[in-house]
Amino acid sequence: MADNIYYPETISENEIVKDESTNLTITDSTSGDTSSPSTIEDESFPTKKIAVETIGSAINTKSGRIKSLFEFTESGAIQIGTYSPGVNGDIKISPVGIVARNSSGIETIAIDGESGDAVFAGSIQSGTVIAGDVVVGDNAVRIDGENRRMLFYDEDTGNPVILIGFE
């Protein structure tokens, strides 16, 4: 078996050409044989990244729960989500009210910021409801808390037919 011997390639030396037309001036502040370095200005510590700190201390990303209060700045309006027919709904919050619609485009919540009127398409559940006057249906039943009475109206004539309480 023949021995394969490999030799490195030889690189010929290139002559360094000195260009006399270039003038390089190097300045250094020296005191005798000792050179002194230039001074480095003090650097301050980096500032806290507010968004990271707010998220870490105010939102539990694992459970998806908000742990503390947020303060909002004044703005024209806020839209949450983008309405796409048949896919998803959106919520719009403005100084004049709140409107939410489902993926079918039906407004499911509407709250008027000026009058306080509210319309809900779904059920409302509560442990306690305090109201002065409750109207059920097309004014078919009326619960009058101020006068302590319940009125049931005739569907044809619109006249009260049953009175429970005081007249």
Q: What is the pLDDT of residues 5-37, one digit of tens each?
A: 877 787 777 777 666 665 555 555 555 555 666
Q: What is the pLDDT of the chain when averaged over all its residues? A: 79
pTM of the model: 0.46
Give the residue with greater pLDDT, 112 vs 139. Answer: 112
**130 with 162, same domain?**
yes
Q: What is the pLDDT of residue 112?
A: 93
Number of domains in the chain: 2
Most confident listed range (37-46, 47-56, 100-109, 154-163): 100-109
Name the DSSP letter for residue 83: -
Note whether residue 30 is domain-resident.
no
Domain holding 86, by residue range, is 73-124
Contact 63, 76 (CB under 8 A): no
Report d(CA 89, CA 123) in Å as an integer. Answer: 18
The answer to whether residues 81 and 116 belong to one domain is yes
The reply to whether 98 and 77 lie within a common domain is yes
Does 105 lie in the same domain as 80? yes
- Is residue 10 domain-resident? no
Residue 119 to residues 15, 109, 141: CA-CA distances in angstroms? 90, 6, 19
Q: Looking at the structure, do residues 112 and 134 belong to the same domain, yes or no?
A: no
In sequence order, which ranges of the chain are alpha helices (DSSP H)? 50-58
CA–CA dist 115, 3 (Å, integer): 101
Residues 118 and 130 in one domain: no
The Cα 14–Cα 138 span in angstroms is: 103
Burial of 151 (0-12, 13-18, 19+ CB in 10 A): buried
Which pLDDT does position 102 carry in this prediction?
93
- Residue 15 belongs to some domain of the structure: no
Residue 144 domain-assigned (yes or no) = yes
Look at residue 3 and tell me if it is in a domain. no
Q: What local confidence, expressed as pLDDT, does residue 109 receive?
A: 93
Q: Do 145 and 115 have their domain in common?
A: no
Q: Considering the domain boundaries, does residue 99 fall inside one?
A: yes
CA dist list (Å): 89 to 23, 111, 112: 71, 17, 19
Q: How far is CA 135 from the centre of its chain?
A: 38
What's the mean pLDDT in 124-141? 85
Asked, for residue 116, whether it belongs to a domain, the answer is yes
Q: Are residues 133 and 153 in the same domain?
A: yes
* Alpha-carbon gap, residue 75 to 59, rounded angstroms: 22
Residues 117, 130, single domain; the answer is: no
In a domain, 107, yes or no: yes
Length of the chain (residues): 167
Tokens 């709904």 identify what position?
A: 89
Q: Name the pLDDT band for 54 (thresholds 50, 70, 90).
A: low
The C-alpha atoms of residue 129 and residue 50 are separated, in whole angstroms, by 41
Claim to verify: residue 120 and residue 141 sit in the same structural domain: no
- Is 119 in the same domain as 77? yes
Q: Which tokens sit at 142?
A: 């009326």
What type of residue is 138?
D
